[in-house]
Amino acid sequence: MSFITGVGLTSFGKHEGSSSLDLMSKAAQLALDDAGLKRADIDGILCGYSTVSPHIMLATVFAEHFGIRPSYAHAVQVGGATGLAMTMLAHHLVEAGVCRNVLVVAGENRLTGQSRDASIRALAQVGHPDYEVPLGPTIPAYYGLVATRYMHEYGVTEQDLAEFAVLMRDHACTHPGAQFHDPITVADVMASKPVAMPLKLLDCCPVSDGGAAFVVSRERTGKAGVRIRGCAQAHTHQHVTAAPALSELGAEISIARAKEATGLAISDVRYAAIYDSFTITLAMLLEDLGLAGRGEAAARVRSGHFGRDGAMPLNTHGGLLSYGHCGVGGAMAHLVETHLQMTGRAANRQVRDASIALLHGDGGVLSSHVSMFLEQVA
């Protein structure tokens, strides 16, 4: 058994003059304060990678910077799935008795600390060095290819994809820390600049500065009773040229494993926090996870199903698409928001019931997947 005892999240957007370590430290201290712990209480540190500060020992660099001397330190790299993968590892470390309190932290000043070209070069590493990178594709290009195929097979339209961007922006408008607060419409998405067709600018997450952190503990440290019920991973490929059929991607595998490990069903879930680097990512994952039928997720968005007051509230902070994306910390914001919802601290974003939450992270081009269930305990 393990509990998420504290969470910390900075605002996302521009943080002029703040380094990655500064942003990580700010989020980490917020998480410790939330858990009611001191730095000396932390005996484990898990750190997400940074493209801005690609140190080969980033976990211990941060530990030194933050002033802690953990008995366990590890850095993790599985793309956008890294945040939940670290949470899963922390859960296992605590259950095994290796650590009592594990600090999970990530953050980057990607917006102000890295040039556009440097960012593109770093992210292009997901491509195969021989068969893909020489052709010049970017991350949006890979997802554009996936989107085109998905739209062809399941009858999804560009307007359908736009619905997810509109929903995420609507949710971000209620969160003071979000990068974007201007409402958008489907027409706005359709009129935005083409990036990698069929994906347009507003179908893509922004680049952000920010940091996120949380503490996974063996015992509860306060009133917050959020337990990690169970989790699972799946890794089907690394490069899109080696990807399986759309009906055999890893999200279906990881969610099946997570359901088996926990005894839970999708019908038990009351709140969802799903990775949304692009609108197509969110559409596909919702359907792969069983939160909507094939080709039906957009219709559920239009009906209000995934709204704050809907049957399955989704990414109520605005997700990567509108709260922002600062690398590993971007997806970790999904867990922070989930914890706030489960502990009744989401202010004007509070949903009616978040007693059982499903979180899912995606790394690479739908390559690495982590599914996780959190449970509210009295």
Domains by residue range for the chain, with CATH: 3-115+208-217 (3.40.47.10)
Report the pLDDT value the prediction gives residue 117, as an integer from 0 to 100: 87
Residue 101: in which H helix or E strand, if any?
Answer: strand 101-109
pLDDT digits (tens, 9 = 90+) for 116-131: 888 888 888 889 999 9
Strands in 356-363's sheet, in edge-to-edge order, are 72-76, 44-48, 101-109, 209-217, 3-9, 226-235, 368-376, 356-363, 271-274
Give the CA count within 13 Å in the CB-facing half-sphere of 166: 17
Report the pLDDT value the prediction gives residue 120, as an integer from 0 to 100: 83
pLDDT digits (tens, 9 = 90+) for 275-318: 999 999 999 999 999 999 999 999 999 999 999 999 999 999 99
What three-state secondary structure class fits 67?
coil
β-strand partners of 13 = 209
Report the pLDDT value the prediction gives residue 73, as an integer from 0 to 100: 98
